[in-house]
Structure 1
């Protein structure tokens, strides 16, 4: 587990409009629902403007209470509110429909892109932060795409309608009211920039919270055994406090900007009332028109406040969308090959292969050359860090070699499509990955899901897994929990071997495949592996030398180079590095 949480990165320059335009491309497929939402907002704005305009008629009706005026006024009140209610329903429901569909499409696109990204991306980004992008960040986009657009359209159109009415009634008075416009614009602009910057930090801190929580929860046994609870609590409090600090900054900016804008609007209304009392400005306006004008001006205070307060949500959404699009713009794995054979023979050649990780100066592998005939097995041994696992991870192209070439059946790996290449390889690693599903679904995973029940049982039997599967309450249909938490290490390893057996690929990679097994299980598995290795080209990484004595060839690696090569007996007779390793293990075993 990582020892500390890095400070969030500085906010990258966010092209607000460019990001929003890109977000709007997701709205296009739902243009009809969006149009109905706009219609709803127009109805709401028309009703709000109508309420202000109706004040003139209310005054007239009060001054002249005829039966006709009473009926008309009653009908007008009901009609305006019914129109407003209809507009509210249309605007809220249809914009929510658009927003949730946009989120669904975005989430799917981000996940699809994650499935194509190179191993390096997952090495550099903690799983918790990536999960946070899919959950929290995309949800922030929902706020910008639903509530924010609804309120901006609805209240914005209301402001336009009320302004239109005011200009129609008395344009001179309207100019007085509009003098505070530039000042309000400046306050909104400053607040928006601050909202966007803080939003980016909040997203970073939410990623940290998910990351720390995921590590602590998934590693709870290590945490408790090594007394790490207090340390994990401190880590969690640290990242949670950072999130709190940024959230409070957001709240304070919002809390200050809204009343400042309200006071500015109040000053404009006060200036309006003061000016209206001047006869040369008032002109020929009736009392009803004056009341209607003041009503329109005061009614505008609420939509102005709403539109300016919604800026925090819009900026959160823009920052979140920018972060989401950043992941979607990551370059996927290079997959330029077109060669896609049904099944390769399995001859593998490593030709002067070198490799170094990005940003590292020294090679992890240095000019490795191996010629492995189809159907033979080669074992890689050496101390930790000698490059064994890195070498085998180049074969399925989890990483691309930086020098030399690797060929399968005489064709460079780069000629194969990734899907075709990986279809030729079965992999069993030390760190077994199982899913929270049934035993059968874990064995027949992915492209193997169409295998018959009999084939699954046969693979499980060959991996010596049936002996514990048949004791399970539901047999093959037993759900094994998150990453197979209900199984022992040896049982999990046997399921991984059963999965490889079921795939029946011509190339087999065994990376410490028997490391989690006890001696009894190992003997069973060793027999199963010897069976499955027949007729397959196999690369075996083994710490226990007893498991590889029958390999066709053994390669001893040190510092990214092959220092010895030969059979078990040849290497023992040579008295070199392998003989020393063997002597050490033999002594320990004795």
Structure 2
């Protein structure tokens, strides 16, 4: 969990970002949309029909103009005819345009749903070390799943529809123009590429700005996510103003980039119309020369001009999608960077062996380890520790000595750099990861409960396949059934975000029930009582004493009362186990590290760190 510490300075927002992910092929997105191919084909047909409407409109205009030079009776008759034709064309547009948008929206929404599901499936299967990287914070991943996935839709939705329509407009316009007057058609076609070149240059300029803005918005999103998730910390330090200033500072970069992006987009859009009207002017001049030399008629000139320029209008509208298309390409690269990455420790991987029965013998032999996010800090150096089945082993040491890291290694949140960790003599790397973690129950110092009912939170420990009897039995063993039953909604009580509706002791007991509902052979207690008051600690410790019977238990604790009755106490210092034995033995070692910690605890007459 990322928590904003208002007392600390934040990183420089101008710090250079990491290398951007590689671009994603449109064909790959199309492959993901493969189930919607029939829908896309129907949308393509309607988009092509919509694209043909503008060139047809040009023909009708050129034919209709002659009506104004006819006698009154013919003018009246032809005016009614052309009015009905234009009305029919308008009704066709009213039908075709929403229909093409409807079908492409279906394809786009299905693509978003599929991408989000695939990406989230990848995220939850990533190794824990991946989440330690700043670029993979909760706010950044949330932004990718929400905003980035939605941005990809523009590549399959509006942009694709516009491309098809533009292509149909261009093709129809060229055919109509060459049928009417090939000389006039060549004059206009020679000028139209100017509009396309402008759109290409604009898209290239927008590409870099879209990538920068995306990275900056992810940073701002992370600040907002941390502030909301840790609102009690922010409020307790009266840091609302500081958080607001930090958020505004993070938004300054995207704002400046957005202004530059708007200027470039506006200049490009203006140039598109400048070139468009330049084409108009040159076309009229060329057409006038052709009429003057008898190479074309007035009607032919207007038919070619309107057919091609109407097609050009449709094509020029595509440039307005350049910012969205570039943004979507960057979003696709960001999303697929997650999808393409292979997790180094994948819980969904079903390969590996399982044991018919688990005794609970654990051994760490010559283990060396450094966190991937802090490769310059050596946590363990040739650490060895043996834990016999059914025993309770307490890990003691200074803060930061690596006690909790041992628990992380046992659960294979990380792999050691060297050395071997075994369960019942079998290296845990060869075991099926999901099965291995099912054999272990974890209770941490600050248990995380989901914003759901107490019943669902307890059942979560067994993957949701839990009977009511198992939930109640686990609650009774965790000394939680009594307080749960006293609540108005009982087991259906919603605990709130992160379990804030429950007290610390209540949350801890629910967490214990969640850990034991799957009947784990190994129990991992990471400072499970250190954050509780004396009364809550006694209730929780009584629950733990019940749970620890006939189970291999690894306890990380700071309080003497929690560890003195352990079967074995292992003292961790400088990446090694420096002392090991029962409390009565270790306390009598002269100048021993454990004895000095106990002496410090006794002298202070408080629960100091052990």
Q: TM-score, normalised by structure 1?
A: 0.95
- Alpha-carbon distance in structure 1 between the residues aligned to 2:18 and 2:235: 37
In the alignment, which residue of structure 1 is the partner of 2:227?
Answer: 216
Post-superposition offset of 1:401: 0.8
Post-superposition offset of 1:275: 1.2
- Alpha-carbon distance in structure 2 between the residues aligned to 1:186 and 1:59: 33
In the alignment, which residue of structure 1 is the partner of 2:105?
Answer: 96
CA deviation string 1:494-526 (max 9, x = no partner):
111111121210011000011122212222222
- The answer to whether the 8 Å contact 2:404/2:556 transfers is yes
Matching of residue 405 in structure 1 with residue 420 in structure 2? yes
Question: Could you say if the C-alpha distance between residues 15 and 457 of structure 1 is closer, same or farther in structure 2, counting changes exceeding 3 Å?
Answer: closer
Secondary structure at the counterpart of residue 384 of structure 2: strand
- Alpha-carbon distance in structure 2 between the residues aligned to 1:461 and 1:68: 92
- The answer to whether the 8 Å contact 2:181/2:300 transfers is no
- Alpha-carbon distance in structure 1 between the residues aligned to 2:455 and 2:254: 42
Matching of residue 500 in structure 1 with residue 515 in structure 2? yes
Post-superposition offset of 1:423: 0.9
Question: Could you say if the C-alpha distance between residues 461 and 288 of structure 1 is closer, same or farther in structure 2, counting changes exceeding 3 Å?
Answer: same
1:29-40 to 2 correspondences below 5 Å: 29-40=35-46
- Alpha-carbon distance in structure 2 between the residues aligned to 1:432 and 1:295: 70
Secondary structure at the counterpart of residue 136 of structure 1: helix
- Alpha-carbon distance in structure 2 between the residues aligned to 1:288 and 1:186: 30
Post-superposition offset of 1:589: 2.7
Post-superposition offset of 1:61: 4.3
In the alignment, which residue of structure 2 is the partner of 1:129?
Answer: 140
Question: Could you say if the C-alpha distance between residues 277 and 61 of structure 1 is closer, same or farther in structure 2, counting changes exceeding 3 Å?
Answer: closer
1:148-297 to 2 correspondences below 5 Å: 148-279=159-290, 283-297=294-308
- Alpha-carbon distance in structure 2 between the residues aligned to 1:9 and 1:327: 21
Moved more, 537-546 or 451-460: 451-460
Post-superposition offset of 1:21: 2.1
In the alignment, which residue of structure 1 is the partner of 2:326?
Answer: 315
Moved more, 570-579 or 98-107: 570-579
Post-superposition offset of 1:93: 0.6
Question: Could you say if the C-alpha distance between residues 434 and 88 of structure 1 is closer, same or farther in structure 2, counting changes exceeding 3 Å?
Answer: same
Secondary structure at the counterpart of residue 539 of structure 1: strand
Post-superposition offset of 1:298: 3.7
Question: Could you say if the C-alpha distance between residues 219 and 26 of structure 1 is closer, same or farther in structure 2, counting changes exceeding 3 Å?
Answer: same
Unaligned runs of 5+ in 2: none
In the alignment, which residue of structure 1 is the partner of 2:355?
Answer: 341
Unaligned runs of 5+ in 1: none
Secondary structure at the counterpart of residue 352 of structure 2: coil
Question: Could you say if the C-alpha distance between residues 15 and 290 of structure 1 is closer, same or farther in structure 2, counting changes exceeding 3 Å?
Answer: farther
Moved more, 368-377 or 70-79: 70-79
In the alignment, which residue of structure 1 is the partner of 2:399?
Answer: 384
Question: Could you say if the C-alpha distance between residues 281 and 272 of structure 1 is closer, same or farther in structure 2, counting changes exceeding 3 Å?
Answer: farther
Moved more, 356-365 or 123-132: 356-365
1:15-164 to 2 correspondences below 5 Å: 18-64=24-70, 65=74, 69=78, 72-124=81-133, 125-164=136-175
- The answer to whether the 8 Å contact 1:209/1:236 transfers is yes
Moved more, 349-358 or 82-91: 82-91
CA deviation string 1:442-478 (max 9, x = no partner):
1111534222223212222222223332232211111
- Alpha-carbon distance in structure 2 between the residues aligned to 1:151 and 1:12: 32
- Alpha-carbon distance in structure 1 between the residues aligned to 2:200 and 2:19: 18
- Alpha-carbon distance in structure 1 between the residues aligned to 2:254 and 2:397: 46
Question: Could you say if the C-alpha distance between residues 345 and 363 of structure 1 is closer, same or farther in structure 2, counting changes exceeding 3 Å?
Answer: same
- The answer to whether the 8 Å contact 1:19/1:322 transfers is no
In the alignment, which residue of structure 2 is the partner of 1:353?
Answer: 367
In the alignment, which residue of structure 2 is the partner of 1:533?
Answer: 548
Question: Could you say if the C-alpha distance between residues 327 and 282 of structure 1 is closer, same or farther in structure 2, counting changes exceeding 3 Å?
Answer: farther
Moved more, 560-569 or 174-183: 174-183
Cα RMSD (Å): 2.1
Post-superposition offset of 1:227: 2.6
In the alignment, which residue of structure 2 is the partner of 1:524?
Answer: 539
CA deviation string 1:83-142 (max 9, x = no partner):
333321321110111001101101111100001111111111211111000011111112
Post-superposition offset of 1:588: 2.5
- Alpha-carbon distance in structure 1 between the residues aligned to 2:407 and 2:431: 17
Question: Could you say if the C-alpha distance between residues 495 and 14 of structure 1 is closer, same or farther in structure 2, counting changes exceeding 3 Å?
Answer: closer
- Alpha-carbon distance in structure 2 between the residues aligned to 1:446 and 1:311: 48
Which of 296, 302, 305 is 2:313 aligned to? 302
- The answer to whether the 8 Å contact 1:346/1:507 transfers is yes
- Alpha-carbon distance in structure 2 between the residues aligned to 1:104 and 1:457: 37
Moved more, 56-65 or 413-422: 56-65
Moved more, 509-518 or 219-228: 219-228
Moved more, 562-571 or 38-47: 38-47
- Alpha-carbon distance in structure 2 between the residues aligned to 1:479 and 1:282: 86
- The answer to whether the 8 Å contact 1:353/1:369 transfers is yes
Post-superposition offset of 1:299: 2.1
1:433-452 to 2 correspondences below 5 Å: 433-445=448-460, 447-452=462-467
Moved more, 193-202 or 532-541: 193-202
Post-superposition offset of 1:12: 4.7
Aligned length: 589
Moved more, 410-419 or 289-298: 289-298
In the alignment, which residue of structure 2 is the partner of 1:483?
Answer: 498
Which of 348, 368, 388 is 2:383 aligned to? 368
Moved more, 77-86 or 525-534: 77-86
Post-superposition offset of 1:146: 1.0
